[in-house]
Amino acid sequence: MSDFHFKYFTVQQSKSALKVGTDAMVLGALIETSNSVTGLEIGSGTGVISLMLAQKTNSLEIDAIDIDLASFEESKVNFENSPWSNRLSAFHKDFFNHEKEKKYDLIFSNPPFFRRALKSENERSNISKHAQFEFDDFFDKAVQLLNKNGHLWLIGPFDDLTFFIDEGAKAGVYPKILWTIEGRPNKPQRFVVCFSFQRGNTEQFSFTIRDESGKYSNDYIKLTKEFHNKDL
């Protein structure tokens, strides 16, 4: 697959298990980076979300980890070729082996969230899309690495929202911000949630990616206009 050209950077994606897609674009655009100095991306793939966040800030330093060797190698190249190479570091490792002594202000992931769907014959695709772990372990590890005032951002299938919130609560984090993402009007498809250690009211928002005709909505165009290098 050809390179994906953004306004300020290019993503090579011929080797990565997952290519640039709407989920990554939505998550990267919605994550709030204010007051965050250190960031961790879990399952970085091409590195596109880390690149988007680096574009949005002047100081955020991000560690991006992926268990898939080819994805790691490609994200490393994408980081090195970007204007923010000094703030982006790629690591080939298992998230569960990441050193727990290091703490992060911001942790984010487009995780392999499929738990019940049928798997394909492509093993790399299965690993990138289908959870090979228990989500309680995922949350426990993420919480270990999160600063006390930090935030954990995730995207997942809308039907699994309650499951994710329950698993987060077991680990001691609670939804601070919740976005409902509709693929078409009145058809919830994904959620984006920001967890924190503080209990309280959840700020709730929603937007639609495409209108009834299938064209990108004005909200989506506005959300991603600082990243795409051409009009949608």
pLDDT for position 135: 87
Output the 3-class SS for the chain. Answer: CCCEEECCCEECCCCCCCCCCHHHHHHHHHCCCCCCCEEEEECCCCCHHHHHHHHHCCCCEEEEEECCHHHHHHHHHHHHCCCCHHHEEEEECCHHHCCCCCCEEEEEECCCCECCCCCCCCHHHHHHHECCCCHHHHHHHHHHHEEEEEEEEEEEEHHHHHHHHHHHHHHCCEEEEEEEEEEECCEEEEEEEEEECCCCCCEEEEEECECCCCCECHHHHHHHCCCECCCC
Q: Which two tokens stand for residue 33?
A: 């980076």
State CA 7 to chain mean position distance.
19
Q: Is the dihedral of CA 46, 19, 24, 45 positive or negative?
A: negative
Question: Is residue 109 within 8 Å of residue 40, measured between CB atoms?
Answer: no
pLDDT for 134 = 85
pLDDT of residue 2: 76
Q: Give 219-223 contacts, CB < 8 A, sequence gap 24+.
A: 223/26, 223/29, 223/30
Distance, in Å, from the CA atom of 116 to the CA atom of 131, rounded to the nearest integer, reads: 9
Q: Tell me which amino acid residue 21 is.
A: G
The per-residue pLDDT for 230 is 84
Q: What is the distance between the terminal CA atoms of the chain, rounded to a whole angstrom? A: 20
Q: What angle do CA 158, 108, 135 make, to 5 degrees?
A: 60
Structure tokens at 30: 């919605």
Kindly give the confidence (pLDDT) of every residue in the chain, 232 residues in length, as a single tens digit, with 9 standing for 90 and above. 578 999 999 999 988 877 889 999 999 999 999 999 999 999 999 999 999 999 999 999 999 999 999 999 999 999 999 999 999 999 999 999 887 778 999 999 998 755 554 444 555 444 444 445 688 899 999 999 999 999 999 999 999 999 999 999 999 999 999 999 999 999 999 999 999 999 999 999 999 999 999 999 999 999 999 999 888 7
Q: Is the pTM higher than 0.75?
A: yes
Token pair belonging to 198 = 């503080």
pLDDT of amino acid 121: 52
pLDDT at 128: 40
Structural domains present in the chain: 4-115+122-224 (3.40.50.150)
